[in-house]
């Protein structure tokens, strides 16, 4: 009798779309290629500049010291890398790690203009398979990028792997507002106004539909805290920013859970 069983192709989410798992990285690269040179401008416009404050708070929570070595995963145009470079100067090093070269190239002039800009290195690579050896870094951080991975838990596990024992971890990511009326207002803004502004000013409406959709599919703060602890991070804490629109998680490399 013939075998009638099927082996369906694994799928995952790209926003609210269902795509083949093996193709998500291609979708993400195409998405960021389309907005790379408008990314910083649009972020500042759509957040009214508040994203800079979020990033400064997040990097400040890491407690970085001069001379430390830091990895910025999914570092994009380098806002977090620049803040970290200032914190670890003059002898520390920051490596901006991203799969999308266009994003890194778009932000590089701003980094080069810093007095400590030479302390930032650039590496193109997959965040689910970080190319650095075990226990290389004193700090590892990711800002608004981990939800774009096909398997974000693998990205976190890789960050854990490359941290030295006692090294500090930070994740800054979007979430949903806590207050019901504010959440309703934010939903209207993100699902209706944001794509319209993206079409009008960046000729990129689909990119700004993907953004709120991907946020809704990402774990909330408590669930994410549990995921990080299960990977092995210890002393995990989080702080909500602007009523929960963004959340910072910080932790340290402890002993892996057996």
CB burial string 143-173: b at 16+ within 10 A, e below: bbbbbbbbebebbbbbbbbbbbeebbbbbbb
**pLDDT tens digits, one per residue of 136-159:** 999 999 999 999 898 999 999 999
Range of the domain at 236: 25-178+207-253
Judge whether 45 lies within some domain.
yes
> Residue 16 falls within a domain, yes or no?
no
pLDDT band at 3 (very low <50, low <70, confident <90, very high): very low
| pLDDT at site 4 | 45
Angle between helices 79-88 and 101-112 (to 10 degrees): 40
Domain presence at residue 202: no
3-state class of 184 per DSSP?
helix
Asked if the structure places residue 20 within a domain, the reply is: no
Q: Is residue 157 assigned to a domain?
A: yes
* E strand or H helix that includes residue 10: none
What domain count does the chain have? 1
SS3 of residue 165 by DSSP: strand
Please report the pLDDT score of residue 197 as a whole number.
Answer: 78
For residue 60, tell me if it sits in a domain. yes
Closest CA to 177 of 244, 248, 254: 244
pLDDT band at 112 (very low <50, low <70, confident <90, very high): very high
Q: How would residue 19 be classed by pLDDT, with cut points 50, 70 and 90? A: low
pTM over 0.85: yes
Q: What is the CATH number of the domain that holds 66?
A: 3.40.50.150
Q: Please report whether residue 93 resides in a domain.
A: yes
Task: For residue 151, tell me if it sits in a domain.
Answer: yes
């Amino acid at each position: 009798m013939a075998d009638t069983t099927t082996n369906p192709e694994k799928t995952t989410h790209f926003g609210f779309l269902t795509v083949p798992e093996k193709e998500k990285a291609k979708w993400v690269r195409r998405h960021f290629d389309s907005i790379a040179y408008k990314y910083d401008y649009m972020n500042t416009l759509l957040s009214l500049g508040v994203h800079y404050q979020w990033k400064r708070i997040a990097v400040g929570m890491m407690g970085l010291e001069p001379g430390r070595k830091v990895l910025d995963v999914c570092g994009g145009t380098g806002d977090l890398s620049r803040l970290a470079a200032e914190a670890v100067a003059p002898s520390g090093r920051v490596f901006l790690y991203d799969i999308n070269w266009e994003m890194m190239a778009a932000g590089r002039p701003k980094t080069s203009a810093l007095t400590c800009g030479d302390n930032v290195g650039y590496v193109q690579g997959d965040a689910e398979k970080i190319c650095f050896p075990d226990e290389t870094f004193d700090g590892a951080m990711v800002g608004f990028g981990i939800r774009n991975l096909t398997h974000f838990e693998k990205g976190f596990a890789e960050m854990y792997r490359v941290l030295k024992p006692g090294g500090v971890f930070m994740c800054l990511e979007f979430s949903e507002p806590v207050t019901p009326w504010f959440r309703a207002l934010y939903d209207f803004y993100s699902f209706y106004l944001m794509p319209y502004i993206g079409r009008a000013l960046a000729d990129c409406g689909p990119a700004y539909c993907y953004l709120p959709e991907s946020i809704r599919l990402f774990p909330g703060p408590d669930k994410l805290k549990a995921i990080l602890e299960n990977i092995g991070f210890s002393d995990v804490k989080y702080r909500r920013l602007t009523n929960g629109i963004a959340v910072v998680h910080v932790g340290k490399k402890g002993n892996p859970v057996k």
